[in-house]
Amino acid sequence: MGLIEKIEVTTFTNDVKDFARNFGDNVVGGSLVYDPGKVTKRPVLMIRIVTDDGLTGEYAFWTLPGAAEQAVVAARTAVGRPWHARELIWRTARRASRPAHSYGLCFLDCALWDLAGKAQGVSLTKMLGGWRSEVPAYASCHNGDRKGNLSSKEAVADFFLGLKEKGFAGFKMHSWHEGDKWEEAANVAHMREKLGERAELMLDPACVFNNISDAIFVGKAAQDAGFRWFEDPLRPTGLGIYAHKQLREALDIPILQTEHVAGPEAKADFLLNGGTDLLRVDAHYDLGVTGCLKTIHFGESLGVSTEIHQPSPVHRHLVAAMQSTGMYEVANVSPAWLNPSPEIYTCGYSDHVDGISARGTLPVPAGPGIGVSYDFDLIARSNPTTVTIDAP
């Protein structure tokens, strides 16, 4: 097989209308929130790999601060190596990025899997042994706000009822930023009352509760309402095993953690030491497809389900190939933002809520590799910056 000849690391922006990061509010704390009339140029990272035998692999999605610089480091460890040596590149690039977690490697690894699928003429799902051509999906809404976009429990239920009519059968609320336990518990009961007993309901407070007693109070409300899971309720950012073990012992509802615990080893420790019932992975946080697979297979060996975080074409493939029937997360959506993925594709790929089928499913890209194509004309108009790393 051929060698990696060069890797292009490109950053550009994609407009998000009516949302902005609010750093002036200590409650919101810099989150991307509804702000009518504002336009945020949200960064996107693309990795493009070219081999000396004429193959290409590429991947692009929303990015995190520092990921592009880390991607350059990861790319330097990959150029000149055989393109199929994903495990070697994965472990070498990961070590090269220490002590930081390599978010850049996440994108590079996805692009390597895309390249391998294109070389073999098969989709990522088939490479992973998967068989599903569509995946069940749930709608996961933004944090509520006080500006008219999910500002009350009634607004949340009305939004989800509209999505239920489109075909969604599962719904997750991301809480309000204030962490008022009374409002949160009332919302949980209201969701169940309005959406019906057969709807799959979930609650992710997104780390808003300052103490475990408030988290237990709201968790019991979710437990009593028959929610599917209770996710990341505690500050600071869902990292402490001991606190979440206390939470698990106090509640009779599955606890979902490890969205903010990066990498397969740390997730394994979190689970084995009692901090969670379910696992969470994201190809953009957890070292790409390779890192996600390590966590998914670890969980499967223990009978533990792994839930995939946020939408992306890679994540549809991962859900399609899992042993358990997981659900694909269409997050974060609201009446003001109905397509949470960057609008960068020419193949028709989209996570717009209108794409849901009457069966409550979304299609898995069927083309070779990840199975999507990108709008390079749009990228050229979107303030791109490219660093090219050539083989020595």
Q: What is the pLDDT of residues 340-379, one digit of tens each?
A: 999 999 999 999 999 999 999 999 999 999 999 999 999 9
Instruction: Give the pLDDT score at 252.
Output: 98
pLDDT at 243 over 80: yes
pLDDT above 90 coverage of the chain, percent: 95
Query: How far does CA 307 lie from the centroid of its chain?
Result: 10
Question: Domain 126-363 belongs to what architecture?
Answer: Alpha-Beta Barrel (3.20)
196 Ramachandran zone, left/alpha/beta (phi>0; psi -120 to 50):
left
Instruction: Give the pLDDT score at 237.
Output: 80
pLDDT tens for each residue of 36-62: 999 999 999 999 999 999 999 999 999
Q: Which helix (H) or strand (E) element contains residue 17? A: strand 4-21
Sheet strands side by side (includes 56-62): 56-62, 32-51, 4-21, 385-390
Instruction: Give the pLDDT score at 100.
Output: 85
pLDDT tens for each residue of 178-227: 999 999 999 999 999 999 999 999 999 999 999 999 999 999 999 999 99
Task: State mean pLDDT over 239-255.
Answer: 97
Q: Are strands 328-333 and 32-51 parallel, antiparallel or unpaired?
A: unpaired
Instruction: Give the pLDDT score at 13.
Output: 97
Q: For residue 66, what are its two tokens? A: 């520092």
Instruction: Give the pLDDT score at 326.
Output: 87
Task: Report the C-alpha gap between 349 and 341 in whole angstroms.
Answer: 9
Instruction: Give the pLDDT score at 194.
Output: 98
Domain ranges, ordered by start, for the chain: 4-121+371-390, 126-363
Least confident of 2-11, 232-241, 368-377: 232-241
DSSP string, 79-105: TTSBTT-HHHHHHHHHHHTTTS--HHH
pLDDT at 1 over 80: no
pLDDT tens for each residue of 59-91: 999 998 899 999 999 999 999 999 999 999 999
Backbone torsions φ then ψ of 40, nearest 5 degrees = -105, 130
pLDDT at 325 over 90: no
pLDDT tens for each residue of 12-36: 999 999 999 999 988 888 899 999 9
Instruction: Give the pLDDT score at 378.
Output: 97
Instruction: Give the pLDDT score at 305.
Output: 96
pTM listed for this prediction: 0.97
Check whether the bond before 22 is cis (ω within 30° of 0): no
Most confident of 92-101, 133-142, 235-244: 133-142
CATH topology of domain 4-121+371-390: Enolase-like; domain 1 (3.30.390)
Please choose, from the candidates 73, 84, 72, the residue with its C-alpha nearest in 3D space to the C-alpha of residue 3: 84
Task: Report the C-alpha gap between 198 and 337 in whole angstroms.
Answer: 26
